[in-house]
A and B are shown apart, each in its own frame.
Chain A
C-alpha cells in the first residue's frame, strides 16, 4: 500500500515536470522565465510582473495552457482506457479502439467532413461515432456469445471495425479532395483549446472515477470468469461497468484529438513492467503516465519542425516504440 502511494507520488511529479516543460517551450519563443512568472502570477496570493505583452499572454493562456492540459487529459484517458480494456479482456493486445470506437468515430467524422463540410461539429460527431461503434460491437457480441465470455466480444469488435472502416473508405473515396482533412484528423491533434477541454471534462471525470473504483475487482477477474464468480463476483457486471467507463473515456479522447495510436496499448504495459500487475496501481499510473507521455509527445510534435507541426499520432509511435522496446529490455523477465 505504501508502495502504491510512493509510485503515484513519483508519477505526479513526473507529470508536473512534463507539463511545465510543455508550458515553457513553444514556437512563439516566449522567454521561459517570463512564462513561469506569468503562470505563478495566476496563483492566489501571488503577484508577479511577467513582462509579457498582452499578445504573448494570449498565446500562453489561450493556446499553450489548454493545449498542454488537453494533451495530458487525452493521454491519460487513452492510457487508463487501454488498461481497463486489457483487464476486462485479460489480453495484453487489447487497446481502447478494440471494440470499434476508432472505426465508429472515423466514419462519423468522415461523413461530417465530406457531407456537411463543417468542422465545428467534428468533436460531437467523433464522440457519437465512437460510442456508437462500441455499442454496436457490444450488442453484436452479447447476442452472438453465450455465457457472457469475452472472445465473442473481441470478434464482434473486429467485425464492426472492418465493416465501419469499409463504409468510411467508400465515403472518403467519393470525395477525394477532402482526403487531407480526414487524414489529418485521424493522425490526431490536441490544439482544440478551452472549449474542447471543457466539453469532455465531465465525461472524463466520471469515466476515470468509475475505472479507478474498479481496480480491485479487475484483480479478482484476473483468475477468470468461473473462479471470479465462485468467489462471489458478478463478473459480467464488473466487465460491463469497466467497458462502459473505458469506452466513454475513449470516446471523449477521440472526440477532441482524433485517433492517436500507441498510448492506450503501450503505457499500461510500461506501467506493469515498472510497478507490478495489480490494477489498483496499473490504472492510476496509466492515467498519470499516459498524460505525461502525450504532453511530451505534443511538445516534440510542435517543436521539432517549428513553426510547422508534426501530427501527434506520428510522434507517439516514433518516440513511443523505441521507448517501449527499451523498457522491455530493461525489465527482462520470463514469460509465463
Chain B
C-alpha cells in the first residue's frame, strides 16, 4: 500500500532524513521508532506531502507529491503530534472537517457528509460529546476526537504522529486498541510514530527504527527491538524479554546493576 524509496528531507539546509526506504502492506501497521530528533515526525510529514523531499513516496501506486491535495486527502489521513484544536469548535464541527476533501471548493457539506460524521462519532462513543467545545475535553477524549476527524476522511491510510502523547497508561492502551480495531474492521493501513517501544512492539506488524535520519533497522518487532540495537541507537541500558505471545517487552535497567 505504501512504498517509500530513497526518501531524503532537508530542513533549513540540514539533512534530516537520508535514503529512507520502507514498504507497508495494505491493512498492516507500521510503527516508526527512534530516539528524539531521529526524524520520525519528519518522515510522516514527508509521506503526506507536507515537506519537499527527494526520492519517492508511493501510496496506492501513485506518487504522493504529484497528487492533487483533495485526491491525496481521500487516500491518506494524518493526525499530527500536537493537533490544533480550536477551543470553541464543537466535536461535531471538528469531526466533519475530515470531509473537506469531498466538498467542492465553494460548496457546503452534504447530508451524506453529515451522516458519515454522525456514524463515526457513534463508533467512537463520541455521540454524547457532539455539541461539546473542544476546549472542554480531557486528553483521552481529545485523542478520540482527532481520530474521529481522521476517520471521517474515509482514507485507507492513517498516519498518526505519537497518538498516545500525554495520555495516561490506560488511555494509551484504549487509543491503540481502538486504532487496531478500526484497522481490522476497515482494512486500514496504519503508520504511527510511537515513543513507547513496548507499545510499538505490541501493536505494530513492522517496526522501522530511525536513527540520525537513516533507517537503522526494520522488520518484525522481535528483529528490531533487540538489546544491541536499542543500546546502540537509544544509548540506553535495557533488558528485552518476550511476553506471553512472544512480543518483546522493554525494561529500563539502571546502569551498574
- Are A and B a genuine interacting pair, yes or no? yes
**Does residue B93 face the partner (Cβ distance < 8 Å to A)?**
yes
* In the complex, A276 has a CB within 8 A of chain B: yes
Interchain CB contact under 8 A, B45 and A232: no
- Whether A234 pairs with B69 at a CB distance below 8 angstroms is yes
- Footprint of B on A, CB under 8 Å? 213-214, 216-217, 219-220, 222-224, 226-234, 272, 276-278, 334, 336
29 CB contacts below 8 A, A to B, read: A214-B106, A216-B109, A217-B105, A219-B93, A219-B97, A222-B86, A222-B89, A223-B84, A223-B85, A227-B78, A229-B50, A229-B69, A230-B73, A230-B76, A230-B77, A231-B97, A231-B98, A231-B100, A232-B71, A232-B73, A232-B74, A232-B101, A233-B100, A278-B89, A334-B135, A336-B86, A336-B87, A336-B88, A336-B135
Which of chain A's residues have a CB closer than 8 A to the CB of B89? 222, 277-278
**B48 contacts the other chain (Cβ, under 8 Å)?**
yes
If A216-B108, A231-B153 touch, does A226 touch B50 (CB 8 Å cutoff)?
yes
A230-B78 in contact (CB<8A): yes
Within the complex, what minimum Cβ distance (angstroms) separates B77 from chain A?
8
Other A-B contacts than A229-B50, A232-B100, A336-B135, 6 sampled, CB-CB below 8 A, are A223-B86, A227-B84, A230-B73, A230-B78, A231-B98, A336-B88
Q: Mark B57-92, 1 if CB is under 8 A from A, else 0.
A: 000000000000111111011101001111111000
In the assembled complex, the Cα of A103 lies from the Cα of B80 at a distance in Å of 39
Main secondary structure of the interface of A (DSSP, over half): loop
Count A/B pairs, Cβ under 8 Å: 65
User: Which residues 5-44 of B have a CB within 8 angstroms of A?
Assistant: none
Write the residues of chain B forming the contact surface with A, with a CB cutoff of 8 angstroms.
45, 48, 50, 69-74, 76-78, 80, 83-89, 93-94, 97-98, 100-101, 103, 105-106, 108-109, 135, 153
* B88 and A276 contact, CB distance less than 8 A: yes
Cβ B73 vs Cβ A231 within 8 A:
yes
Report the Cα distance A213→B106, complex, angstroms: 6
